[in-house]
Amino acid sequence: MRKISLIIFLLALLPVADMYSSTNGRRKGYTLKIDKKTDVSSNDDMVKGSFMVASQCEDCNHGYRLDEVKFSGFDKPWNSKYETFFITNNTDRILTGVNLYIEYQTTDGQMLHKRFYPLRCNIPPGETRNVQLNSWDTQHSFVFEKSATSSKTNATPFKVIFDPVAFYLRF
């Protein structure tokens, strides 16, 4: 009987002993790594005080359409690490952001690359602003078909297609 009560007593002490032994060891901290490129909260500034226009449905978007924001003047010389273009706001409100796909194609229409870009901006009604982005062509192998070229380069010409997904207008 005495052995059984001793065994029960020792079994009851095991969780307590385990608790004390684990706190004496080295503490390990855990952190949550957040990829800032895909962090959803980064678009909060664009949305605050603005409403989104996201389709061609005039009844759904307070009468606004995606084609009221125009993209023009794209340029990317062969040796540049930047791309530039213009955004024109043809609405009656301040444009605070644009979400768009930029598709890069060869001159015969074959897709080279496509990327999604959420842009924050502050473009008053009826005005145009210049946008500068880091180029997708990191090896300087391509040149925009309408950009000035040098006779020394063997860069492949390409064209771009802007596909706006949504834009944001301030209330």
Q: What is the dihedral of CA 23, 25, 29, 30, to 10 degrees?
A: -90
pTM tops 0.75? no
Residue-range domain boundaries for the chain: 55-170
pLDDT of 110 higher than 70: yes
Fold of 55-170: Immunoglobulin-like (2.60.40)
Query: Two tokens at 74?
Result: 């794209």
pLDDT at 23 over 70: no
At 38, the pLDDT band (50, 70, 90 cuts) reads: very low
Amino acid at 9: F
